[in-house]
Amino acid sequence: MLRGTLATFLILIVNLLYAQQPVTLIKGRVNDQIQQPLFLVSIKVLETGQMTMTDKSGTFILPVSGETLTIEFTCIGKQKLTQKIKTAEYIGRIWELQMRELNLGLKEITVSAERKYDGSSNSSVVIDRDVIEQVSALSVNDLLNQLPNRKITPPSLQSVQNIQLRSTFADVQKGFRDPFALSNAFGIAVVMDGVPISNNANMQSRNPGITGLEKALIHSAGSYGLDGKRDQSYSGDYAFGGTDLRQIPVENIERVEVIAGVPSVKYGDLTDGVVIIDRQAGRSPLYVKTQLRDNATAYSLSKGFYVDKYWGSFNISTNYTTSFADNRDKLKAYKRLNANLMWSRSFGQRDQVRNTLSLDYGKNVDGIRSDPDDPASRRTSFDNWNASISNRTNISFNNRFLKSISVNLRYSTGFQQTYWEENANNGITVYTDETKPGITEGKFAPGNYTAISLIEGKPITLSGNINTNTEFGTGNLRHFLSAGSNLNYSANKGRGQVFDPSRPRAQTAVRLDGKLSERYYDYSLIAPQIDMGFYIEDQFSFRLLQHDMNVRAGVRWDIQNGFVSVTPRTNISYQVTDKWRIGFAYGRASKAPGLGHRFPGPVFNDIPLLISYNGKVAESFYLLYIDRFDPSGQNLKASRSETFEFTSLYEAGKYRVSLSMFSKSNRDGISTIQQWNQLVLPVYDTVPRSGLKPEYIQVGTQRVPSARNVFSNVLSADNQGIDLMASSPVFRSISTSFNLSGGIYHTRYFVDAWRYVKAENIPNTRDETAVMGVYLPDKRSSWYSSGRLTSVTHIPKISLMLSFTAEFDFFRRTYMEKNLSVPIAYYTAGGKYVEIKQYDPQNPDYKHLKTYDESLDVSQNQERIHPNFHLSLSKELRKKLKFSFNVFNVFNYQPRYLKNGTVVTPNYPPTFGAEISLKL
């Protein structure tokens, strides 16, 4: 591999030495609809990354050297313009362009996401500003309702919003987290303004070595509020998962690109896709927006203004949102405050240097207040704030080879606090605060207290990348070569897991049969995480059978947790006819483990050996053995994925149909597995002493199993699927266009490790009796299919738009592999491992081991098609004031059916929303 890499670089160097291409100056002018010049229009050559801006007269000069280029024009408040040109046709003349104001008076306006081949991947789905302004959204997650084969959910901020792409795993919610869903969300990169927003430093969780990954979170009680539903357990923690998209408002977003397939090698530290967010920067009108929903209220304001040539442009935006789960009691609340300041300035005679400095602040208050009707007075909160500073610099060159260099930096710091309290009323509390392993004397404390759990994190991340874009020729081919590197630093300086052992909650209290318990764990002592990567990518086109073949191919090197991974990726597209284009993509990717994976914290198993209590602490005695285990994440490898994808795009006039077929395999996903250790401990008896603590003597020994959960690369998943997106032109007779999307996904996933389950209700104490069962690895297969048809009636003369969506969930099914519910082996009380060759449910040695009916584990299986319907209406006045009204589940269609004794309601109740926005 090393020889091949060196050979590649030598060939590139030779090519660069003789690559000569004359530089052409393209001159142009950009006007608005009334032929007034547009100032500060951003102009970018997509192939080379070159950038410039228009001056006050609307003119620009762009040095280029390619024969065919794609040039993008963007201006805040204007409809984006993308032109593919042959440079020879623009030599010696002024290129006149016109950009239209973005409003409902436009004859043509995009109202849904589109799959585009001019993105950085064949699978790019792009949501532009004209779509964003028509969508009712409280966060970025609501914009992603545009993706195919994704169930539409109404805007809400009442649960953690981790995106999952091209999978059928369970949702991350209700006090139990699916490791596969977490792994998928953790493997999706969120890139804002060229720099990733990392969740690697997030450690807001209980100790996963105690609970396992599935339950490593603090959550509320099983019910709250007026309806008192038993399944309302809530947690706002999202460690080990992806970025919580609730924290990102949409008001100042210019563009969102979602790549669920094979992204460019420019993007690293991912396995399941990337969400690329570009925000507005520059002069813009005052934009004020108010959104009122039945469970939320949002206010936003933004304004961009130009000062002068020296100071450049400033853009400010702020957003405040409040949301309640139930407006009647307001127990469960989520409040969000965001503020952003951007300073943009260009340097040089031709504005060839562009710099944007961004300052961001966000605060989130999330939790459940104490319910007056709750005798335990439980209270839960998940609060945080974060602040960041980032800088983007792009330098364009009037050079035959080097076209542009961009440098992106981002520093972020924050404060995260997870808090839980509950009144405890017990007889007596036995505990220990000892952290050294071995036999120690415990303590007694009163049983009436307020139990408090506090997890405090102070995540710090520093990310930077440098990218170069060059152009050169080899024979008749023009190559657009890009190369770069990135560095990510993550640390957490919080106090960590803070507990008072004398006031334990139920999960940490020492019990007579032994209990995995928590101690104070200081995050600030953890070593920081440093990952880095390098990439090189070539983009070129050539003619094959009289049609264009476009190739984007590259390779990436990453160093993650001490392991090196090499991940090649390529996106190829071929124009079969003037109307039909096909594409093929192949790529590998890797995602580094986070700080929480690498340093989960020590695990303590407090095993009581002797408890003698007579109601007087001075005459009572508690002796226990502490089994301490310090896990190490040094051997954790990066998760990895491999993707094959075929895409097709057919365009006939305004008719557009795109298809994607994919097969993706994920390996080395990170989760916890149980490990057991057989301990031989002494058995003691007491000798009472009047007025004193009793004496104790050893009378024998006993075997005691001690368990812990450790992180390991054990998750595997195979995903296949098809998704479809189609759109029609506007039928003038009814002023209506139609959009269709849907798909079908299949996921087969399994844990590559045996399952160990401790026996309950052991019938006797014989050495041959099973005390722990061993089971086959968990293997499941899931299917999901949905579709939607949207009609958009747009009447430009009166600036009116009416959108109606019919959504269909065709099926959702999960199958469990047979024979997973019966043990294949067991451990005896004497510590012996016994294999079960033929399971006998009447065998007295192991018949008490846990089994369950596999047919009951299909509560999510959908027996019939479930439709749902949504409506949205927008009206604009004088292109300044806009009113919108939307209803999700407009017909209040809520089918119900009984499934394994549980009432299932697949559709949510109707939810209403109204928006008022003003542009000045």
The single-letter DSSP state of residue 645 is: E
Do 42 and 222 touch, CB atoms closer than 8 A?
A: no
Q: How far apart are CA 616 and CA 293, in angstroms?
A: 59
Closest CA to 27 of 74, 89, 95, 86: 95
pLDDT over 60 (residue 172): no
**From residue 678, how far is each of 359, 368, 448, 461, 769 by CA, in Å?**
55, 41, 35, 41, 15
Query: For 37-175, where are the alpha helices, taking DSSP H only?
Result: 129-132, 140-143
Per-residue pLDDT of 34-61, as tens digits, reads: 888 888 888 888 777 677 888 888 888 8
Neighbour order of strands in the sheet with 68-74? 51-53, 42-45, 68-74, 81-86
Query: Across 187-252, where does the E strand assignment appear?
Result: 188-192, 195-196
Do 158 and 141 touch, CB atoms closer than 8 A?
A: no
How confident is residue 23, by pLDDT bands cut at 50, 70 and 90?
Answer: low
Q: What is the mean pLDDT of residues 176-203?
A: 91
Whole-number pLDDT of residue 224: 61
Whole-number pLDDT of residue 232: 60
Q: How far apart are CA 621 and CA 599, in angstroms?
A: 35
Length of the chain, in residues = 920
Q: Strand, coil or helix: what is 395?
A: strand
The single-letter DSSP state of residue 121 is: S
Query: For 297-377, where are the alpha helices, taking DSSP H only?
Result: none
Do 501 and 238 touch, CB atoms closer than 8 A?
A: no
Whole-number pLDDT of residue 46: 79
pLDDT over 80 (residue 857): no
Closest CA to 770 of 778, 761, 759: 759
Determine if residue 452 is left, alpha or beta; phi over 0 gives left, psi from -120 to 50 gives alpha, anything else beta: beta
Whole-number pLDDT of residue 16: 44
Q: What is the mean pLDDT of the chain?
A: 86
How confident is residue 171, by pLDDT bands cut at 50, 70 and 90?
Answer: very low
Higher pLDDT, 838 or 228: 838
The tokens of 122 are what?
Answer: 């064949």
Give the containing element (helix H, strand E) for 8. Answer: helix 2-18
DSSP string across 579-644? SEEEEEEEEEEEE---HHHH----EEEEEEEEEE-SS-GGG-EEEEEEEEE----TTPPPEEEEEE
Q: How far apart are CA 380 and CA 218, in angstroms?
A: 8
β-strand partners of 668: none
Do 449 and 424 touch, CB atoms closer than 8 A?
A: yes
Per-residue pLDDT of 624-668, as tens digits, reads: 999 999 988 888 999 999 999 999 999 998 899 999 999 999 999
Residue in the structure block whose two tokens are 């969102």: 256
Per-residue pLDDT of 386-438, as tens digits, reads: 999 999 999 988 777 888 899 999 999 999 999 988 888 877 888 888 899 99
Do 430 and 611 touch, CB atoms closer than 8 A?
A: yes
pLDDT over 60 (residue 835): yes
What pTM does this model have? 0.90
Whole-number pLDDT of residue 68: 76
Q: What is the mean pLDDT of residues 281-299?
A: 90
Whole-number pLDDT of residue 5: 44
Whole-number pLDDT of residue 504: 79
Q: How far apart are CA 870 and CA 886, in angstroms?
A: 8
Which burial class, exposed, middle or buried, applies to 137 when counting CB atoms under 10 A from its CB (0-12, 13-18, 19+)? buried
Residue in the structure block whose two tokens are 């020296």: 310
Q: How far apart are CA 839 and CA 774, in angstroms?
A: 12
Per-residue pLDDT of 463-500, as tens digits, reads: 999 999 888 888 888 888 999 999 999 999 999 999 88
Give the containing element (helix H, strand E) for 180. Answer: helix 179-186
Count of C-beta atoms within a 10 Å radius of residue 673? 19
The single-letter DSSP state of residue 215 is: G
Q: How far apart are CA 834 and CA 841, in angstroms?
A: 16
Do 734 and 793 touch, CB atoms closer than 8 A?
A: yes
pLDDT over 70 (residue 290): yes
Higher pLDDT, 358 or 308: 358
Whole-number pLDDT of residue 704: 83
The tokens of 465 are what?
Answer: 């990348």
Q: What is the mean pLDDT of residues 287-308?
A: 92
Determine if residue 266 is left, alpha or beta; phi over 0 gives left, psi from -120 to 50 gives alpha, anything else beta: alpha
pLDDT over 80 (residue 366): yes
Percent above pLDDT 70 for the chain: 92
Per-residue pLDDT of 413-425, as tens digits, reads: 999 999 988 888 8
Closest CA to 93 of 25, 23, 34, 37: 25
How confident is residue 87, by pLDDT bands cut at 50, 70 and 90?
Answer: confident
The tokens of 747 are what?
Answer: 């996921």
Whole-number pLDDT of residue 4: 43
**Comparing 166-170, 207-211, 220-224, 380-384, which segment has the lowest mean pLDDT?**
220-224
Give the containing element (helix H, strand E) for 425. Answer: strand 402-431
The single-letter DSSP state of residue 854 is: G
β-strand partners of 567: 556
Q: How far apart are CA 224 and CA 335, in angstroms?
A: 19
Per-residue pLDDT of 799-826, as tens digits, reads: 999 999 999 999 888 887 777 778 999 9
Query: For 46-143, where are the alpha helices, taking DSSP H only?
Result: 129-132, 140-143
Whole-number pLDDT of residue 852: 62
Q: How far apart are CA 524 and CA 502, in angstroms?
A: 24
**Comparing 249-258, 713-722, 846-855, which segment has the lowest mean pLDDT?**
846-855
Per-residue pLDDT of 213-270, as tens digits, reads: 888 888 776 566 655 554 567 888 889 999 999 999 998 898 999 999 999 999 999 9
Q: How far apart are CA 916 and CA 132, in angstroms?
A: 15
pLDDT over 80 (residue 525): yes
Domains belonging to the chain, first-starting first, are 23-101 (2.60.40.1120), 102-549+565-919 (2.40.170.20)
Per-residue pLDDT of 575-633, as tens digits, reads: 899 899 999 999 999 999 999 999 999 999 889 999 888 888 888 899 999 999 998 88
Count of C-beta atoms within a 10 Å radius of residue 686? 15
